[in-house]
Structure 1
Amino acid sequence: MHEWGYREADETAAALTELLVRAAVADGGRRVSVHFADQDRQALVVALSHRPGLAVADTGALPELTGLGAVSCGTDTADDGRRVWAVLDL
């Protein structure tokens, strides 16, 4: 994010990313991937656990993500594992 020119969001983006990664790691998979995108002065940060077969999305991290500054956040479970995501105003 910093290299994209969003220096004012560095600390918030780092805190959101750390929490998203912790949530993905808690799923117990062997890999975690993190994805970033930006559009219209907002950034999307997604962590994917890559652990298939999880039945229900865990929403426990969502209140904390909002408390860290996410304007929107969520989680879902798919064939490739659980995705936990947050949107940040830039």
Structure 2
Amino acid sequence: MRNRRGASWTLDTAPWAPARAASNVTARLADWGLTAATSLDQVVRLLTATVIADGGRRISIHLSEQNGMALVLCLSHRHADTGEAADLLIGLRDLGADSCGIETTAEGRHVWALMPAHPCVSSGAERCAPPQPPGYGR
């Protein structure tokens, strides 16, 4: 991954995996001085839950950032039925993904979403706060 930052994690397919994946992605973006829309948490949880449903023992989560965009890719490491693909893609777009997709390869199912990432807006003790919509907090 030349010319971009990246990170990856392997997690067991346990009930806690979607929350852990979302936490890992958010924390790594903050380490890079970036944040994404508050819906990023839901996007990562949806991607993770989708590949967990494939029934494997582990999943992989990959994060990369380039030019203000964060790519989150989740792999199931198992072949899976992609019957719910249209619903998943609509859900990801509704959560703010600029682009998203599903692919099945010899390595298993890959689901991904591309989300805008912004420089952190920090105030005092806050490590990195997501950008707020206009009029927020009034």
Equivalent residue runs for 1:1-90 within 5 Å: 1-7=29-35, 9=36, 11-52=38-79, 54=80, 56=82, 58-59=84-85, 60-90=87-117
Percent of pairs with identical residues = 40
What TM-score, normalized to structure 2?
0.58
Q: Indicate the structure (1 or 2) with the bigger Cα radius of gyration.
A: 2
Q: Which of the pair has the greater relative contact order for Cα pairs under 8 Å at 6+ separation? A: 1
Letter in 2 for 1:76: E
Contiguous gaps of at least 5 residues in structure 2: 1-28, 118-138
**Distance in 2 separating the partners of 1:62 and 1:89:** 17
Pairs aligned (count)? 88
Secondary structure of the 1:14 match is helix
CA RMSD of aligned residues (A): 1.7
Contiguous gaps of at least 5 residues in structure 1: none
What TM-score, normalized to structure 1?
0.87
Secondary structure of the 2:90 match is helix
* Cα-to-partner distance string for 1:9-49 (whole Å, 9 max, x where unaligned): 16232211111000000111111110000001001000000
